[in-house]
A and B are shown apart, each in its own frame.
Chain A
């Protein structure tokens, strides 16, 4: 089953497996993010958090042995003809997450834990049950929910009714099986909730597929609450949302850059190494759809690099060495920035 989901990440052009996996695992180094940009999978950033890289690489090896993937250059794989057929088949039979992009800017996992306890507390409270085992003993999560309850200043029965209505509104937007999976997974009064394994048996799917479904439903729910900010759980979600996927430090560097574009000056002002400033700007360029490349890249560099790579349409396969052979003074930063710009242009074209 994991192999099926891994196969869906590959295409008919070579993709760097480690790069793609690290995007999904939430690694935010520039090289990982760049791999995500070229493989067009940045919207899955951090959605497979906690999944072991070695496990994923072992799956790739199995897919290769099964002749569904083939390695063209070291570290990169692409679909074989059989792989393409299998992928097409999976696209119609396997559950495809719809809202994993929420992981980019929202701490969905934290919300999952906090909301789980909040729903349990309200469910038990609405039934006036004081003796129950809380779903988590994490003191941070417990404190957050206590604080939320205090500030909501509403009787449990009222909160119960409101939560019933809000969940009902959200779940009616879903397919009935998905709504059932969502509700059966909840823990509350006299209902401990079903495990992924139990739901898998009930719905004749694999536990991993149920895991994907439940993660995706959580993302969909989070996005729904974001659109309905009068709902009772909004105060629990609001602090977990960031304006952008860009890290705070990189964002600050970018703000300084907007005031004046000289990287040396930015480094002095921000008290950072020059290399760090450059990494921050590359991270922003990758994650920000309308990054002002022209303010950094001189037209001379753009012209030179355009000439060097004009015969090579696959931007991801460009080699820095090739540019450096002709422009020995060129720093890797400018090459990578140009590469990001071209990737973006490809995507928008």
Chain B
């Protein structure tokens, strides 16, 4: 297929005149029969790549995706774009629906699936019966960051790919260091894959850090930010409880329209909050990190981290939800000394000492079921006959990596020099020269006016509407 034909397809199917950076190169390589590892910055329309390739090539596109909520968002987004032959195979489907889906795979063009689901024998068997156009590993950095001690099925993706007949494979991520890229290629057993890497930098996002003395000061700073800076805004938290509490507090102490979003909400409420946010009916979303992975709202102006992200790579992903319209946007971490301990305790949740690992292996030997989350992960290795020493090494390495990652993050938070340079150095990239609209150095105020972000959110008055009027609005087009 020529470039001209691809441009034509882009226009006809998606209404765009130009590809975003990296899209065309990746598509061309895939159509030439290559496996591709694509590192493209957040907001560059990575899903368009596999959608377009799926349109051109016969067969099913299987997209391995890490979260159910993300898969559901992706299906909804493809539905929104008019793609009907798309489904997510998740554990939330009832038995009958899942069976019907598996026996009718040939009627689908896109199938979203988690690594755990893909590893099920029935799913593998069904997929072996249909031609595959493409295997996509979305958020491919999870292979390296989640695989060893949290979601071990990510480590089995290479084996699964072989069982599917080694289909053409696209690995997508927005953030991967050289080491993570190598790990992805090794684990997936595609050493010769083409690598197409673009800078992770998003120059239109100003990088700020506010160091505060205590929690009360942090709350105050948050309130000041959301009431003085242009919106809409996302505020990220580590815990569901804090997400709810602060959302409620902001809602009651400001005029802003605020909602909490986290995995504890029902699917219906999550959908409604996302849609309200997309429709401009909410000004601030207080959320855990899952929010925003699947949505594409171009005009998010501010991303605030009330709690530290887990790693600098996660931070890049999360702030990448801001400013997708290429207009100036702001990313701020609110930091109180000691906040890093919260990250440490989260890291500890997936840790296991050599003794614990050895004991768990004994448990497996005695054919007892796993009792903890860590034990469930270890079970994966015992079932594959991996020796205790290897698992101990793997867990030890992972903990050391996490501690290193935390140091990198804290270096970003505490640096007296250009933060963008620190961030880009981590990804082996050189930074452009520092300017006033690049990032916040210690002692600097946020240059809101220079960024054009000094116009606070203007909350429109909500008209009073009766239920009969609402009902008419819903169903009568000429009301």
User: Which of the residues B76, B259, B260 comes within 8 Å of A134, measured between beta carbons?
Assistant: B76
User: Which of the residues A119, A132, A182, A194 comes within 8 Å of B272, measured between beta carbons?
Assistant: A194
Q: What is the CA–CA distance of A196 and B266 in the complex, to the nearest angstrom? A: 10
Across-interface contacts of A132 in B (CB, < 8 A): 80
Nearest chain B CB to A332 CB, angstrom units: 33
Spot the interface stretch: B6-14, B22-30, B87-95, B200-208: B87-95
Q: Which residue of A lies closest to B275 (CB)?
A: A192
B268 within 8 A of A: yes
B213 within 8 A of A: no
Across-interface contacts of A133 in B (CB, < 8 A): 76-77, 79-80, 271, 274-275, 278
Nearest chain B CB to A1 CB, angstrom units: 15
The 8 A CB mask of A180-214 against B (1 = contact, 0 = none) is: 10111011111111111110010000000000000
Q: What is the CA–CA distance of A168 and B275 in the complex, to the nearest angstrom? A: 25
User: Which of the residues B268, B274, B468 comes within 8 Å of A116, measured between beta carbons?
Assistant: B268
B81 within 8 A of A: yes
A contact residues, range: 35 or more
Q: What is the CA–CA distance of A132 and B77 in the complex, to the nearest angstrom? A: 8
A289 within 8 A of B: no
Spot the interface stretch: A33-41, A158-166, A303-311: A158-166
Q: A171-B467, A190-B279 are in contact. Are A197 and B259 (CB under 8 A)?
A: yes
Across-interface contacts of A122 in B (CB, < 8 A): 475
Q: Which residue of A lies closest to B468 (CB)?
A: A168
Q: A195-B259, A197-B259 are in contact. Are A134 and B100 (CB under 8 A)?
A: no
Q: Which residue of A lies closest to B108 (CB)?
A: A139
Q: A160-B476, A168-B471 are in contact. Are A137 and B87 (CB under 8 A)?
A: yes
Is A191 a contact partner of B271 (Cβ separation < 8 A)? no
Q: Which residue of A lies closest to B76 (CB)?
A: A133
Across-interface contacts of B468 in A (CB, < 8 A): 168
Is A139 a contact partner of B87 (Cβ separation < 8 A)? yes
The 8 A CB mask of A273-290 against B (1 = contact, 0 = none) is: 000000000000000000
Across-interface contacts of B75 in A (CB, < 8 A): 137
User: Which of the residues B72, B76, B470, B475 comes within 8 Å of A163, measured between beta carbons?
Assistant: B475
Q: What is the CA–CA distance of A207 and B101 in the complex, to the nearest angstrom? A: 35
Across-interface contacts of B93 in A (CB, < 8 A): 138-140
User: Which of the residues A134, A187, A201 comes within 8 Å of B79, measured between beta carbons?
Assistant: A134
Is B101 a contact partner of A139 (Cβ separation < 8 A)? yes
Is B477 a contact partner of A131 (Cβ separation < 8 A)? no
Nearest chain A CB to B48 CB, angstrom units: 16
A80 within 8 A of B: no
Across-interface contacts of A127 in B (CB, < 8 A): 477
A179 within 8 A of B: yes
Give the residue among A126, A137, A164 with the most B Cβ atoms within 10 A. Answer: A137
Q: A123-B475, A140-B97, A190-B279 are in contact. Are A195 and B273 (CB under 8 A)?
A: yes
Q: Which residue of A lies closest to B94 (CB)?
A: A140
Nearest chain A CB to B473 CB, angstrom units: 7
User: Which of the residues B80, B275, B466 comes within 8 Å of A131, measured between beta carbons?
Assistant: B80
Q: Which residue of A lies closest to B281 (CB)?
A: A192
Q: What is the CA–CA distance of A182 and B71 in the complex, to the nearest angstrom? A: 29
Q: A133-B275, A138-B93 are in contact. Are A164 and B76 (CB under 8 A)?
A: no
Nearest chain B CB to A318 CB, angstrom units: 39
Q: What is the CA–CA distance of A324 and B475 in the complex, to the nearest angstrom? A: 66
Q: What is the CA–CA distance of A161 and B475 in the complex, to the nearest angstrom? A: 6
Q: What is the CA–CA distance of A183 and B274 in the complex, to the nearest angstrom? A: 19
Across-interface contacts of B271 in A (CB, < 8 A): 133, 135-136, 187, 192
Q: Which residues, 83 to 134 on B, are CB-close (under 8 Å) to A?
A: 87-88, 92-94, 96-97, 100-101
Is A191 a contact partner of B473 (Cβ separation < 8 A)? yes
Q: What is the CA–CA distance of A179 and B470 in the complex, to the nearest angstrom? A: 11
A157 within 8 A of B: yes
Q: What is the CA–CA distance of A128 and B267 in the complex, to the nearest angstrom? A: 26
Q: What is the CA–CA distance of A186 and B272 in the complex, to the nearest angstrom? A: 10
Give the residue among A122, A135, A139, A179 with the most B Cβ atoms within 10 A. Answer: A139
A153 within 8 A of B: no
A150 within 8 A of B: no
Q: What is the CA–CA distance of A104 and B276 in the complex, to the nearest angstrom? A: 35
A130 within 8 A of B: yes
Across-interface contacts of A187 in B (CB, < 8 A): 271-272, 275
Is B470 a contact partner of A191 (Cβ separation < 8 A)? yes
Q: Which residue of A lies closest to B88 (CB)?
A: A137
Give the residue among A183, A184, A188 with the most B Cβ atoms within 10 A. Answer: A183
Across-interface contacts of A197 in B (CB, < 8 A): 259-260, 269
Across-interface contacts of A136 in B (CB, < 8 A): 267, 271
B461 within 8 A of A: no
B245 within 8 A of A: no
Q: What is the CA–CA distance of A132 and B452 in the complex, to the nearest angstrom? A: 32
Q: What is the CA–CA distance of A133 and B294 in the complex, to the nearest angstrom? A: 12
User: Which of the residues B101, B266, B274, B474 comes within 8 Å of A123, measured between beta carbons?
Assistant: B474
B472 within 8 A of A: yes
B82 within 8 A of A: yes
The 8 A CB mask of A213-234 against B (1 = contact, 0 = none) is: 0000000000000000000000
User: Which of the residues A130, A161, A176 comes within 8 Å of B476, measured between beta carbons?
Assistant: A161
Q: What is the CA–CA distance of A128 and B269 in the complex, to the nearest angstrom? A: 25
Is B82 a contact partner of A188 (Cβ separation < 8 A)? no
Across-interface contacts of A30 in B (CB, < 8 A): none
Across-interface contacts of A194 in B (CB, < 8 A): 272
Q: What is the CA–CA distance of A295 and B276 in the complex, to the nearest angstrom? A: 61
Q: Which residue of A lies closest to B473 (CB)?
A: A191
What are some 26 contacts across the A-B interface (CB < 8 A)?
A133-B77, A133-B79, A133-B278, A135-B268, A139-B100, A140-B100, A160-B476, A164-B472, A164-B474, A164-B475, A167-B475, A171-B467, A171-B471, A179-B467, A183-B467, A183-B470, A183-B474, A189-B474, A190-B279, A192-B271, A192-B276, A192-B279, A192-B281, A193-B272, A195-B273, A198-B259
User: Could you list 14 further interchain pairs (A-B, Cβ under 8 angstroms) beyond the known A194-B272, A195-B269, A197-B260?
Assistant: A137-B88, A160-B476, A161-B475, A167-B475, A176-B467, A179-B467, A182-B467, A184-B467, A184-B470, A188-B474, A190-B473, A192-B272, A192-B281, A196-B269
